[in-house]
Structure 1
Amino acid sequence: MVNKHPLPGSERTVEQGSKVVGQCDPAERIEVFVMLRRQQQAQFDALMSKIEAGDPSVKPLSRETLAKDYGAAPDDIAKVKAFATAHGLTVVREDPAARTVLLSGTIAQFQDAFAVKLEHYEHHSTGQFRGRTGTISVPDDLHGVVQAVLGLDDRPQARPHFRIRPPFQPARGHQVSFTPPQLASLYHFPQGDGGGQCVGIIELGGGYNTSDLKSYFASLGVASPKVKSVGVDQGSNQPTGDPNGPDGEVTLDIEIVGAIAPGATIAVYFTQNSDAGFIDAVSRAVHDTTNKPSVISISWGGPESNWTSQSLQAFNSVLQSAATLGVTVCAASGDSGSSDGAGSGDQVDFPASSPYVLACGGTSLTASGTSISHEAVWNDGAQGGATGGGVSQAFPVPVWQKGLSATSTSGGKKALGGRGRAGRGGRRIARDRLQCIDRRYADCGRRHQRGRAAVGRADRAHQCGEGAAGRLHQPQAVQGERRVQRHHARQQRQFRGIRGMGCLHGARQSQWSEGGGRTIVCRTRPEGSPLGRHKDVNEDVNEPMERS
Structure 2
Amino acid sequence: MKRTYIRSLVVVGILLLITGAGIAVKGGTAQADTPVVVDNHVDPALSQSQLVQTAPVSQPLDISVGLQMRNKGEFDSLLKAIYDPASSSYHHYLTPDQFNQEFAPTDDQVQQVETYLQGLGMAVKNVAPDNLLLNVGATVEQAQQAFNVQINTYRRGRETYYANSSPIKVPSRIRSLVMAVTGLDSRIKLHHHYQNAKLTPKLDPVGYGPRDISNAYDIGPLQSAGFLGDRQTIALLELDGYQPSDIVSYMQYFNPVSLGSTVSSVASTLTPALALSNLTNVLVDNYSGAAGQGAEEVSLDIEMIDAIAPHANTLVYEGPNTMQGMNDTYARIVNDNKAQIVSISWGLCEQSTGNAEMQLLDNLFRQGVAQGMSFFAAAGDNGAYDCGDTNLAVDYPASDPYVTSVGGTSLQLNVNGTIKSESVWSDTSNAGFTSTYGNGSGGGLSSNFSMPSWQRGPGVQNGYSNGKREVPDVSANADNNYGYAIYCTVLAANCLSTGWNTIAGTSSGAPLWAASTALINQYIQAQGKRPLGQMNPVLYGLFNGPRAYPPFHDITSGTNLYYSATANYDLASGMGSPDVFNIARDLARQ
* Same fold (TM > 0.5): yes
The 10-residue stretch of structure 1 (439-448 or 477-486) with the greater mean CA deviation from structure 2 = 477-486
Output the TM-score relative to the length of structure 2.
0.76
Q: Distance in 1 between matches of 2:548 and 2:343?
A: 23
Over 3 Å counting, the alpha-carbon distance change for 1:396 and 1:403 in structure 2 is: farther
Of the candidates 414, 420, 423, which is equivalent to residue 463 of structure 2?
A: 414
Q: Distance in 2 between matches of 1:148 and 1:84?
A: 14
1:393 corresponds to:
447
2:181 corresponds to:
149
Q: Quick one: which amino acid aligns to residue 275 of structure 1?
A: M
Deviation at 1:460, TM superposition (A): 0.7
Q: Quick one: which amino acid aligns to residue 194 of structure 1?
A: G
2:146 corresponds to:
113
Over 3 Å counting, the alpha-carbon distance change for 1:23 and 1:445 in structure 2 is: same
Deviation at 1:182, TM superposition (A): 2.8
Q: Distance in 1 between matches of 2:429 and 2:456?
A: 33
The 10-residue stretch of structure 1 (396-405 or 308-317) with the greater mean CA deviation from structure 2 = 396-405
Residues 393 and 433 in structure 1, CA contact (< 8 A), matched pair in contact too: no
Output the TM-score relative to the length of structure 1.
0.81
2:162 corresponds to:
130
Q: Distance in 2 between matches of 1:168 and 1:367?
A: 23
Over 3 Å counting, the alpha-carbon distance change for 1:374 and 1:388 in structure 2 is: same
> SS state of the match for residue 365, structure 2?
helix
RMSD (Å) for aligned C-alpha atoms: 3.5
**What per-residue deviation string (whole Å, max 9, x for no partner) do you get for residues 258-294 of structure 1?**
22222222222222333333222112111115xx121
Q: Quick one: which amino acid aligns to residue 318 of structure 1?
A: L
2:294 corresponds to:
246
Over 3 Å counting, the alpha-carbon distance change for 1:393 and 1:344 in structure 2 is: same
Of the candidates 419, 422, 435, which is equivalent to residue 472 of structure 2?
A: 435
Deviation at 1:218, TM superposition (A): 0.6
Over 3 Å counting, the alpha-carbon distance change for 1:199 and 1:149 in structure 2 is: same
Of the candidates 224, 242, 256, which is equivalent to residue 275 of structure 2?
A: 224
1:531 corresponds to:
none
1:39 corresponds to:
70
Q: Distance in 2 between matches of 1:177 and 1:513?
A: 25
In terms of fraction of residues, the more helix-rich structure is: 2
Deviation at 1:183, TM superposition (A): 0.9
Q: Quick one: which amino acid aligns to residue 25 of structure 1?
A: P
Residues 513 and 520 in structure 1, CA contact (< 8 A), matched pair in contact too: no
Over 3 Å counting, the alpha-carbon distance change for 1:150 and 1:376 in structure 2 is: same
Describe how 1:8-407 pairs up with structure 2 within 5 A.
Answer: 8-15=38-45, 16-51=47-82, 57=88, 58=90, 59-124=92-157, 127-166=159-198, 176-189=206-219, 190-191=222-223, 192-205=227-240, 207-222=241-256, 224-225=275-276, 226-240=278-292, 245-289=293-337, 292-368=338-414, 369-383=416-430, 385-402=439-456, 405=459
> SS state of the match for residue 287, structure 1?
helix
> SS state of the match for residue 401, structure 2?
coil
Deviation at 1:366, TM superposition (A): 2.1
Residues 38 and 356 in structure 2, CA contact (< 8 A), matched pair in contact too: yes
Q: Quick one: which amino acid aligns to residue 376 of structure 1?
A: S
Residues 410 and 477 in structure 2, CA contact (< 8 A), matched pair in contact too: yes
Aligned length: 496
Deviation at 1:432, TM superposition (A): 4.6
Q: Distance in 1 between matches of 2:96 and 2:348?
A: 29
> SS state of the match for residue 25, structure 1?
coil
Q: Are 1:537 and 2:587 an aligned pair?
A: yes
Residues 564 and 570 in structure 2, CA contact (< 8 A), matched pair in contact too: no
Structure 1: give runs of 5+ residues left out of the alignment. Answer: 408-412, 419-430, 522-526, 529-533, 541-548
Deviation at 1:536, TM superposition (A): 7.5
Over 3 Å counting, the alpha-carbon distance change for 1:30 and 1:194 in structure 2 is: same
Q: Distance in 1 between matches of 2:365 and 2:585?
A: 18
1:545 corresponds to:
none
Of the candidates 477, 482, 486, which is equivalent to residue 446 of structure 1?
A: 486
Over 3 Å counting, the alpha-carbon distance change for 1:195 and 1:398 in structure 2 is: same
> SS state of the match for residue 426, structure 2?
coil
Deviation at 1:472, TM superposition (A): 2.9
Q: Distance in 2 between matches of 1:538 and 1:304?
A: 36
Percent identity for Structure 1 against Structure 2 = 24
> SS state of the match for residue 299, structure 2?
helix
Over 3 Å counting, the alpha-carbon distance change for 1:261 and 1:278 in structure 2 is: same
Over 3 Å counting, the alpha-carbon distance change for 1:316 and 1:269 in structure 2 is: same
Over 3 Å counting, the alpha-carbon distance change for 1:490 and 1:233 in structure 2 is: closer
Q: Distance in 1 between matches of 2:499 and 2:372?
A: 41
Q: Distance in 2 between matches of 1:121 and 1:308?
A: 19
1:519 corresponds to:
578
The 10-residue stretch of structure 1 (365-374 or 487-496) with the greater mean CA deviation from structure 2 = 487-496
Q: Distance in 2 between matches of 1:14 and 1:364?
A: 32
The 10-residue stretch of structure 1 (264-273 or 141-150) with the greater mean CA deviation from structure 2 = 264-273
Over 3 Å counting, the alpha-carbon distance change for 1:31 and 1:168 in structure 2 is: closer
**What per-residue deviation string (whole Å, max 9, x for no partner) do you get for residues 376-423 of structure 1?**
22222252732111121211111122476569xxxxx426335xxxxx
Q: Quick one: which amino acid aligns to residue 501 of structure 2?
A: A
Over 3 Å counting, the alpha-carbon distance change for 1:265 and 1:360 in structure 2 is: same
2:519 corresponds to:
471
**What per-residue deviation string (whole Å, max 9, x for no partner) do you get for residues 122-145 of structure 1?**
3337x3333112111212320211
Over 3 Å counting, the alpha-carbon distance change for 1:147 and 1:539 in structure 2 is: farther
Q: Distance in 2 between matches of 1:138 and 1:536?
A: 50
The 10-residue stretch of structure 1 (14-23 or 138-147) with the greater mean CA deviation from structure 2 = 14-23
**What per-residue deviation string (whole Å, max 9, x for no partner) do you get for residues 230-261 of structure 1?**
22225331213xxxx31111111111112222
Residues 17 and 124 in structure 1, CA contact (< 8 A), matched pair in contact too: no
The 10-residue stretch of structure 1 (185-194 or 313-322) with the greater mean CA deviation from structure 2 = 185-194
Q: Give the structure with higher Rg (CA).
A: 2
Q: Quick one: which amino acid aligns to residue 473 of structure 2?
A: C
Q: Distance in 1 between matches of 2:141 and 2:333?
A: 32
